[in-house]
């Protein structure tokens, strides 16, 4: 289930800290863990996905950011990997769906009108959800797209035929607004990863999402 809280991992964290954050967030009710490491090698990322999957232990979906090859490699090694989240410059979602199978979860980043048109042109079932943002400027993705804000997100979500996950600098106080604007959930990086108590912070996000539905 893709609705709810999505935790996107922060590659700036040491391995032990990353796994502690993931474990605490999943225990708190996080629905999706997206493993993202833009600067890791394929082998390094495959190893990270495997250990994250072991910590999650089936309690949430595990997605790999950008790398279909890594998702397949981790699966081949025995890890439970539920799918991928793809950017606009990554492998075509049609190819990703063919490689990962009909039961995989495939997300796609979208933040511009042409992205929405491309998503609507896909056959049903190719993509499961859209990651839409930025809601606020974010230090985890300083080269990201222009800030949409809650209002811009809402306009995008209303025009989309797929569930939309709000991403990009989302704060706890933003949750009621983005959910009212049509979000199926929110994705966070530093809001949980940099928190003094990641589990408690994740639980607050989970409760806020549930309360706004």
Binding-site annotation, residues for Mg(2+):
66, 90
- Own/partner pairs, 136-139, CB within 8 angstroms, 24+ separation: 136/168, 136/169, 136/170, 136/171, 136/174, 137/168, 137/169, 138/168, 138/169, 138/189, 138/190, 139/190
Phi first, then psi: give them for residue 16, nearest 5 degrees: -60, -45
Establish how many alpha carbons lie within 13 A of residue 178's alpha carbon, considering only the half-sphere containing its beta carbon: 36
**Tokens standing for 199?**
């589990």
Annotated binding site: which residue ranges? 34-38, 65-66, 90, 109, 138-141, 169, 189-190
Residues in the chain: 213
d(CA 83, CA 142): 25
What is Dmax (Cα atoms) for the chain? 43
């Amino acid at each position: 289930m893709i609705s709810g809280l999505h935790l996107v991992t922060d590659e700036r964290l040491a391995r032990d800290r990353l796994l502690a954050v993931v474990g605490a967030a999943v225990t708190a009710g996080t629905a999706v863990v997206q493993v993202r490491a833009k600067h890791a090698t394929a082998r390094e990322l495959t190893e990270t996905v495997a250990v994250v999957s072991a910590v999650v232990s089936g309690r949430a979906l595990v997605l790999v950011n950008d790398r279909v090859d890594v998702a397949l490699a981790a699966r081949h090694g025995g890890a439970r990997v539920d799918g991928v989240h793809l950017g606009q410059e990554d492998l075509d979602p049609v190819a990703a769906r063919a490689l990962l199978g009909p039961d995989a979860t495939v997300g796609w980043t979208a933040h511009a009108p042409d992205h929405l048109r491309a998503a609507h042109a896909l056959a049903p079932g190719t993509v499961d959800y859209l990651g839409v943002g930025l809601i606020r400027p974010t230090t985890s993705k300083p080269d990201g797209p222009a800030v949409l804000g809650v209002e811009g997100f809402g306009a995008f979500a209303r025009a989309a035929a797929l569930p939309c996950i709000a991403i990009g600098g989302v704060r706890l106080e933003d949750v009621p607004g983005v959910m009212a604007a049509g979000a199926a959930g929110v994705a966070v990086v530093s809001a949980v990863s940099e928190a003094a108590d990641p589990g408690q912070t994740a639980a607050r996000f989970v409760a806020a999402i549930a309360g706004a539905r």
